[in-house]
Amino acid sequence: MHLARRALLAAVTLPGAAQASGGPAVEFTGAVAPPAPRRLTAAQIEAFGAPRLVTVTPWTEGAQGFDGAPLARVLEAVGARGRTLRAMALNDYAVSMPAEEVVAAGAFLATRQGGAALPVRSRGPFWIVFPWSARPELDNAVIRQRSVWQLARVEVS
C-alpha cells in the first residue's frame, strides 16, 4: 500500500482526527470499523489522490470538474461493512441506496468544483456526483435522488 495512503488510513482511524484538521466533515456512522462515528474532512478525502471527475450534471451548466474521491475509496477507508447507505444532507433530506449499486455506478464524493471548495450555498461542502457524461444511462430519477448535496452524514447498515 502506498505510504501516504497508509498514513491517511491511520489518521482516519484515530478518534477526532478529522476534527483536529478543522473545517467541515462528513460523518460515517453505523456499520463502520471502530471507532465510530468516523469524520472525514475535505482534505482527508482529497488525499486519496483520485483523478478529477469531469462531467455534466442535471443542475449545472456545461461540464464541471470535481475534486474529491470515488465513494468506493471512502467506504473502504472507513471500513464500511453494510449493504445500504443512507445519505443525509444538512437540510435533513435523506435517501437510502444500495452500496453496491452506487459504487458500480461510479459515485464520487466531491469536495471541490472548478478547483474551489464547495460552499453550502453551492451544494457543499460535500456532494455525491456521478459520471453522467461518461455514462448517460445514469441520467435518471433514481440516480438524481442519490446525488445528495450538502452531504452531512452517511449511515451504513
Q: The domain containing residue 74 runs over which residues?
A: 3-156
Provide the number of structural domains found in the chain: 1
Asked if pLDDT for residue 117 goes beyond 70, the answer is: yes
CATH code for position 29: 3.90.420.10
What's residue 137's pLDDT? 97
Q: Confidence band (pLDDT; 50, 70, 90) for 1?
A: very low
Q: Which long-range contacts (CB under 8 A, 24 or more apart) does 49-57 make?
A: 49/4, 49/5, 50/108, 53/108, 53/110, 53/129, 53/131, 54/133, 55/129, 55/130, 55/131, 55/132, 55/133, 55/134, 56/132, 56/133, 57/129, 57/132, 57/147
Higher pLDDT, 89 or 10: 89
Asked if pLDDT for residue 15 goes beyond 70, the answer is: no
